[in-house]
Amino acid sequence: MSLQAYIAVELLVLVVFVMALSRLKRRRYYVAEGNRRKFTGQRLVCLPLEIVEVFSRLPRRFRMWDMNRLLGDRTTRSMMWRYLQRLETLGLIRHTSKIHYLKLYDRVSDWIEKDLLVQVSRIEFRATQQRSILVEA
pLDDT value of position 26: 46
The bridge status of strand 61-63 relative to strand 100-103 is antiparallel
pLDDT value of position 61: 94
pLDDT value of position 12: 66
**Number of domains forming the structure of the chain:** 1
pLDDT value of position 68: 84
On the CB side of 66, CA atoms within 13 Å amount to 16
CATH of the domain at 21: 1.10.10.10
In angstroms, the CA 58 to CA 60 distance is 7
Report mean pLDDT in 10-residue bins for the chain, 137 residues.
Answer: 71 66 51 50 63 88 88 80 86 89 90 83 84 67
pLDDT value of position 101: 94
Backbone angles phi, psi at 103, to 5 degrees: -80, 125
pLDDT value of position 34: 54
What is the domain extent for residue 22? 3-136
pTM of the prediction?
0.58
